[in-house]
């Protein structure tokens, strides 16, 4: 299947092998975290979920109706007053405007976080704007190669544009296999930086605690990273996927302070160890990074764990003010300037209030055909 991507070869593979993060002598060579992933089984009663649990377990895993969203196109036409503006488009897809430069993180417009158009986690919330309706993007940033961050149909669409890509070591093999010219691809090891072409914005790959792979045979064959975007006036942190790691303190020392911190808060489970944060650990990661306005990502789009779909948002809303953390939680598609955000309105509650009920145990609801993305190279099932 072309959606699986491609393995690195030649000079790309040689560069990966030269990384200090590459394990050469292991029975299964590949990239490794600096610290072992700690098991999350502090409570003996918490067991590793089965496939059946993952597919059918849990309650309220999807909302009872569509979430509120905003069409951002008119607001995008207006300049940012502060020089830093963010538009959360769902899951980990965020349009960052930093001193006039537009960066798009982990763009996912596809219907499923899966190699197949027929099976796999299906989005329960549509992205609020079509891919072709985006303003001109100066660079696309891809943290790692999992399907909910590196989306095959989205990449096929972006391949037709001239936009450059900045990503982690090895991920360029996938991009090149899907028609993106190698000169448009920059791959970074941790602590390496690249300038967004034609701008003063620099992107740095930084540590994270996760893994990679698009099939059973390519586990950790590419690197995973957090990403820092810096202009002469502003600095933004984007976690990609990660668990809690002490390396956040080092990131804060070397690359902070941050005006905006985007940390993943959804798709977590206590038995999975330190590969995802969840809202409580995200607050600790935020502290280690040195603070900054906090925009939570990796929620509100796909059901990828057994917890309730709104648990990350509700937990943050309850805990963050007590810790003095400035939350930035706009509705989908609402451009916001962190410097101008004082309070958070729990907009996500409107859906459950309008359509009360228990909610689905797993994401089974069909999206209305008229609302499905029209620019995807795959047929819509």
Q: What is the pLDDT of residues 231-287, one digit of tens each?
A: 999 999 999 999 999 999 999 999 999 999 999 999 988 888 789 999 999 999 999
CB atoms within 10 A of CB 57: 15
Tokens representing residue 308 in the block: 């309730």
pLDDT for 362 = 44
* Nearest CA among 151, 192, 203, 202 for reference residue 175: 151
Alpha helices in 148-246 (DSSP H): 152-159, 172-177
Give phi and psi for 217, each to the nearest 5.
-105, 0
SS3 state at 251 = helix
- Flag whether pLDDT at 180 surpasses 70: yes
Give the confidence band of 52 by pLDDT, cuts at 50, 70, 90: confident
Tokens representing residue 360 in the block: 């689905």
Q: Rounded to the nearest 10 degrees, how much is the dihedral formed by the CA atoms of 138, 147, 282, 59?
A: 140
Tokens representing residue 294 in the block: 């906090």
Q: What is the pLDDT of residues 90-125, one digit of tens each?
A: 999 999 999 999 999 999 999 999 999 898 999 999
Please, are residues 168 and 144 in contact by the beta-carbon 8 Å criterion? yes
Place of tokens 């930086």: 193
> Can you tell me the distance from the alpha carbon of 171 to that of 178, in angstroms, rounded to the nearest whole number?
11
Give the confidence band of 28 by pLDDT, cuts at 50, 70, 90: confident
Please, are residues 121 and 148 in contact by the beta-carbon 8 Å criterion? yes
| Over residues 56-64, mean pLDDT | 85
Domain boundaries, the chain: 52-364
> Can you tell me the distance from the alpha carbon of 112 to that of 99, in angstroms, rounded to the nearest whole number?
33
pLDDT for 274 = 86
pLDDT for 43 = 53
Percent of the chain surpassing pLDDT 70: 90
Enumerate residues 6+ apart whose C-beta is below 8 A from 370.
none
Alpha-carbon Rg for the chain in angstroms: 19
Give the confidence band of 373 by pLDDT, cuts at 50, 70, 90: very low
pLDDT for 379 = 29
Place of tokens 């089984």: 41
Tokens representing residue 71 in the block: 């069409």
CB atoms within 10 A of CB 216: 6
Tokens representing residue 107 in the block: 């763009």
Q: Facing residues of 90 across strands?
A: 93
HSE-CB for 51 with a 13 A CA cutoff: 1
User: Whole-number mean pLDDT of the chain?
Assistant: 90
> Can you tell me the distance from the alpha carbon of 283 to that of 142, in angstroms, rounded to the nearest whole number?
23
- Answer CATH for 52-364 from 3.60.15.10, 3.40.50.720, 3.30.2130.30, 3.30.590.20: 3.60.15.10
DSSP code of 221?
S
HSE-CB for 129 with a 13 A CA cutoff: 23
Please, are residues 199 and 101 in contact by the beta-carbon 8 Å criterion? yes
Enumerate residues 6+ apart whose C-beta is below 8 A from 353.
none
CB atoms within 10 A of CB 55: 14
> Can you tell me the distance from the alpha carbon of 357 to that of 355, in angstroms, rounded to the nearest whole number?
7
Q: What is the pLDDT of residues 321-338, one digit of tens each?
A: 999 999 999 999 999 999
pLDDT for 86 = 98
* Nearest CA among 347, 350, 349, 380 for reference residue 366: 380
| Over residues 292-303, mean pLDDT | 97
> Can you tell me the distance from the alpha carbon of 275 to that of 192, in angstroms, rounded to the nearest whole number?
22
* Number of H-type helices and E-type strands within the chain: 9, 14
> Can you tell me the distance from the alpha carbon of 73 to that of 95, in angstroms, rounded to the nearest whole number?
12
Encode burial over 110-123: b for 16+ CB neighbours within 10 A, e otherwise. bbbbbbebeeebbb
Q: What is the pLDDT of residues 337-360, one digit of tens each?
A: 999 998 899 999 998 887 765 544
CB atoms within 10 A of CB 198: 10
Q: What is the pLDDT of residues 138-174, one digit of tens each?
A: 999 999 999 999 999 999 999 999 999 999 999 999 9
């Amino acid at each position: 299947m072309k959606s699986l991507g491609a393995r690195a070869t030649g000079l790309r593979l040689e560069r990966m092998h030269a990384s200090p993060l590459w394990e050469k002598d292991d029975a299964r060579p590949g990239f490794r975290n600096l610290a072992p992933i700690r098991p999350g089984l502090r409570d003996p009663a918490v067991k590793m979920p089965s496939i059946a649990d993952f597919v059918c377990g849990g309650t309220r895993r999807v909302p009872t109706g569509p979430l509120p969203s905003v069409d951002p196109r008119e607001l995008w036409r207006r300049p940012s007053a502060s020089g830093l503006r963010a538009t959360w488009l769902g899951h980990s897809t965020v349009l960052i405007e930093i001193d006039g430069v537009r960066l798009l993180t982990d763009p996912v417009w596809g219907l499923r976080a899966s190699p197949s158009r027929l099976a796999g986690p299906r989005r329960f919330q549509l992205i609020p704007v079509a891919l072709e309706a985006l303003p001109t993007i100066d660079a696309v940033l891809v943290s790692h190669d999992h399907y909910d961050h590196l989306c095959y149909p989205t990449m096929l669409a972006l391949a037709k544009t001239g936009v450059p890509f900045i990503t982690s070591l090895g991920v360029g093999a996938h991009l090149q296999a899907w028609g993106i010219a190698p000169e448009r691809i920059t791959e970074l090891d941790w602590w390496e930086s690249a300038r967004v072409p034609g701008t003063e914005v620099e992107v740095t790959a930084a540590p994270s605690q996760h893994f990679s792979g698009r099939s059973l045979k390519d586990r950790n064959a590419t690197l995973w990273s957090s990403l820092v975007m810096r202009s002469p006036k502003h600095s933004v942190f984007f976690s990609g996927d990660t668990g809690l790691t002490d390396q956040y303190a080092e990131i804060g020392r070397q690359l902070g302070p941050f005006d905006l911190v985007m940390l993943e808060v959804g798709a977590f489970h206590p038995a999975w160890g330190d590969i995802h944060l969840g809202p409580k650990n995200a607050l600790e990661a935020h502290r280690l990074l040195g603070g900054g306005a906090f925009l939570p990502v990796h929620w509100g789009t796909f059901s990828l764990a057994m917890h309730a779909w709104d648990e990350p948002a509700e937990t943050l809303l309850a805990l963050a003010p007590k810790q003095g953390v400035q939350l930035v939680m706009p509705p989908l598609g609402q451009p916001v300037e962190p410097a101008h955000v004082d309070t958070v309105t729990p907009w996500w509650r409107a859906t459950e209030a309008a359509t009360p009920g228990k909610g689905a145990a797993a994401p089974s609801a069909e999206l209305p055909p008229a609302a499905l993305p029209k620019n995807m190279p795959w047929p819509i099932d």
